[in-house]
Structure 1
Amino acid sequence: MILTFVRWGRSLALRIPADFARQIGVDEGDYVQANLTVDGGICIRKVKWDRRAFARELETMREVMPMTQAVTEELRRGARY
């Protein structure tokens, strides 16, 4: 089957036939992971969103990016004269 990319805002979108979606068990709003393959292809797999893994990822980000003064507060101070 040959599919065509279409413009969707500033991105490109690829429509997946309903039969394909049914066979891999995806529906609107489901999460998928896309990877580029060595030969230049795209591999798309359905993934289940893991709340615990997401929380661990956020915790790691907090360690890397320490809390500083809020940007909005800095902007507000700069706007005052």
Structure 2
Amino acid sequence: MMNLQIAKWGNSLAVRIPADYVRQIGIKEGDRLQAHLGADGALNLRPAPWSRKAFAQELARDSQALPMGTSVMEQLRQEARY
């Protein structure tokens, strides 16, 4: 058992997760957690299951931000020496 301190983060409150716990549950910055409030007031956190749909949405969003360049295969064909 470990006592943790609540800190202000913008308009919200935040709890820092100790590095030992982070390593044990295998999370990293940017990962998502599921929070569940128990009947006794306990706050339970666990890694959110991987979502194919959420991943596809992130991929579509991020790929729109990337500039399209020359196809690598097309570039190799143009530079090929036969």
Task: Give the TM-score, by structure 1 length.
Answer: 0.61
Displacement of 1:47 in angstroms is 1.5
**Aligned: 1:29 with 2:30:** yes
**Preserved CA contact (<8 Å) 1:31 1:49:** no
Q: Distance in 2 between matches of 1:26 and 1:54?
A: 17
Displacement of 1:43 in angstroms is 0.5
Q: Which runs of 5+ in 1 are unaligned?
A: 56-81
Q: Percent identity?
A: 55
**Aligned: 1:40 with 2:44:** no
RMSD value, Cα: 2.0
Structure 1 stretches of 4+ moved >6 Å: none
Task: Give the TM-score, by structure 2 length.
Answer: 0.60
Q: Which runs of 5+ in 2 are unaligned?
A: 57-82
